[in-house]
Amino acid sequence: MGAFVFKSLLRNILPKAFRGFLEAKNVQRPPLLEIAAHLDARDFSAAEHGLRDLPSDVRTAAERRLILTFWLRVWNHRFAGAPERTDAIGAWFRVLERALASGDVWPAFKMADDAEAVLGAAEVAQTLAVAIWDHLPGSNFGLQYQAISRCFAGGDPAILDAIFSHLLKSDAEFVPDFWQYQSLARRWSEAGGAPVEVRAQSLLHNTGRADLNRLFDIYLLILRQSDIGQAFSLARELTHETQRHRLSGYLVGASQTSALIGEAVRLHDALAPLDAEDERHLMQARLAVAQGEWPKVLEHTCGILDHPEQRNTAVCLRAIALAYLGDHENARAAIDHVRYNRHAPWFLRGRAALIGMTDRILRDGGTPVDRVASPELATGAGRPLAQSLWVGPQLRWIEQLSMKSYLLNGWRYKLFVYDEPAGVPEGVELCDAAAILPRSAIFQEGDGSGAHKGSLGAFSDLFRYALLARLGGLWTDTDVVNLRAFDPEGQRLIASEWTDAGLIGPNGAMMAAPANDPLQRTALETAQELLASGEMHFARIGPELLAELLGDGGAQGYQVLPPHFLNPIGWMETGRLLQPFETTRRIEVLQKAHNLHVYTETWRLIGLGLTRPPEGGGFLPTLYERLMNAEGMAPRRVMELISA
């Protein structure tokens, strides 16, 4: 399509009288005609912006094909002189054309990863939505799931919102699962505006789907981690078969605390289809892991090793059981089977690495991490030193709370920054982050990190390895509230966390090491290699990498701290921090903790804002108020303020 695009559009799409009116009066043209005019004028930047701004809905098939053709012109201009890329986008255009014309959409999903490597997730999501729009209602749930996942990865809340509205309105059988609801809630939260619960109610009202009100109420309780017990009770009352099955499917894939895994297994049994015996065995195996009944783990997983969806999870559970039973050769074989399986989901490959750490500890005669007592880390004569990083113009309330807690407990606090942010608490020492890693090294999580796309977490992982390898000392994340002072001087420490009932992994939110430490140097080098290779996903150079280094190389002088040292309230129960202050402060494990990790990343996922402090009489709002208004300095000052 050349320079006659605009005239051709006028001739083929608009009525003759209306064409004449537009041309004579020079009035504002419809968006597609504006884009065509930009292309005629070879203003490809304006055309691209116009394409990005087009709404996803209310298009005829002819208009949709035209939109794809416009995108192809933009791409051909963008990649002129790069034949490999133009070949790739040509193949992507052709598969989208076929999907639009015939409804044969699966080839487009299969090619989407290759297209993303050239075009990025945003343009793949937008053009895919254009091509498959008319074929989504009434299609199978797997296809709908893939469509929503791609639109979420694209990062545009308007496209994701439009896809949801389209499916809910046009397909009475469409019932989103929890993960799809979470994706939409995440994008709503990032976009700002009305709370998630208000947006969800409006969505169901506008699409005429009042039948999903109770299910969305349950999803909100799960999302906010506010009352999982109530969510489970409401789930038992559901009568719609598909809704019950969506929740049983959620339970299979969702991590659970040791306190809730038993109830989760029973609820799954009540909600799942009668023929879902493989799922029931998997859930029983998870319960057996939480209870340390290792022969039962092997018994429940032996029959599902050939299941196409459950086998890698089953192999991971068998690996932990074999490790505790002392069969380390077969445990390692099971771990490696998942860890190096490119067809296994990335999160299961990561889980296999975490299990590898536990296997190595047991093989070397060590004590399981959850049974280790917190070390006696007495305070020294001077003030201990904490170190962290901040990238951005403004500290939020959680970073201010974290830093103030260290200062109240008598720590020095060095904050490495590239530019001085606003809101730094008095007493924090600002240091030049460029002395550790250049500004050009900053990057954000990409498409492979799913719900964590856009996070600086992976760069923070890289930075902490560089900092500890060069300077040594204690690293703390800026969402860690220090409860009591301790002396990390000369220590090699790595915190840990529960990743599921009975499963533990390292957590680099708190680490200590001497300068020039071999493990930190190796972590830095390996992280840089992984970044260069493009083999990235959420936690790949964080907990997963640490677990690999500890699993392959042994402890290397490090003490892996028990979960309650840093994470007395884990990421699966972050919502407890908003429960009443008096209830939460009396939690036994909190009394033994040295720190409280607030998990900013989880806070974002569960749809709670970070722009202003939480309000009310909950634990975290009260803690914030007490600490930010407190004065004085003592090794247990924060615990004193909690106990007051």
CATH of the domain at 541: 3.90.550
| CA–CA separation, 37 and 351 (whole Å) | 52
Domain co-membership, 365 together with 412: no
Q: Are residues 360 and 398 in the same domain?
A: no
Identify the domain boundary among 317, 342, 371: 371
How high is the pLDDT of residue 131?
94
Q: Are residues 334 and 356 in the same domain?
A: yes
pLDDT of residue 19: 46
502 in the Ramachandran plot: left (φ > 0), alpha (ψ -120 to 50) or beta? left
Domain stops at, among 180, 208, 236? 208
Contacts of range 31-39, beta carbons closer than 8 Å, 24 or more positions apart? 32/63, 32/66, 32/67, 32/70, 33/6, 33/9, 35/70, 36/5, 36/6, 36/8, 36/9, 36/70, 37/6, 39/1, 39/5, 39/6, 39/70, 39/73, 39/74
Tell whether 132 is covered by a domain. Answer: yes
Q: Quote the domain boundaries for residue 420.
A: 385-643
> Cα(61)–Cα(130) distance, rounded to whole angstroms?
9
Q: For residues 444 and 454, is the Cβ–Cβ distance under 8 A?
A: yes
Structural domain includes residue 588: yes
Domain count, the chain: 3
| Same domain, yes or no: 329 and 398 | no
Q: Which residue type does 411 have?
A: W
471 and 577: one domain?
A: yes
Residue 528, domain member (yes or no)? yes
Whether residue 406 is found in the same domain as residue 343? no
* 501 contacts 285 by C-beta, under 8 angstroms: no
Q: What is the mean pLDDT of each run of 10 residues along the chain (644 residues)?
A: 51 49 53 90 94 80 91 95 93 95 92 92 93 93 92 87 94 96 88 88 97 97 90 97 98 95 98 97 98 98 94 97 98 96 90 96 95 79 93 95 98 98 97 96 64 71 97 98 94 96 96 97 94 74 93 93 95 90 91 92 72 87 96 95 92
Domain-terminating residue out of 318, 337, 371: 371
The angle, 0 to 180 degrees and rounded to 10, between the axes of the packed helices 228-236 and 213-224 is 160
pLDDT for 188 equals 87
Give pLDDT, residue 373.
85
Q: What are phi and psi of 415, to 5 degrees?
A: -110, 115
Q: What is the pLDDT of residue 11?
A: 54
63 and 197 both lie in a single domain: yes
Is 264 contained in some domain? Answer: no
Is residue 439 one of the residues assigned to a domain?
yes
**What's the pLDDT score for residue 12?**
53
Is residue 121 included in any domain, yes or no? yes
Instruction: Please tell me whether residues 347 and 464 are part of one structural domain.
Output: no
Q: What is the pLDDT of residue 443?
A: 80
pLDDT confidence of residue 227: 87
**110 within a domain of the structure (yes/no):** yes
> Are residues 600 and 462 part of one domain?
yes
Q: Please report whether residue 378 resides in a domain.
A: no
Residues 333, 185 share a domain: no
Q: Judge if 118 and 143 occupy the same domain.
A: yes
Residues 476, 333, single domain; the answer is: no
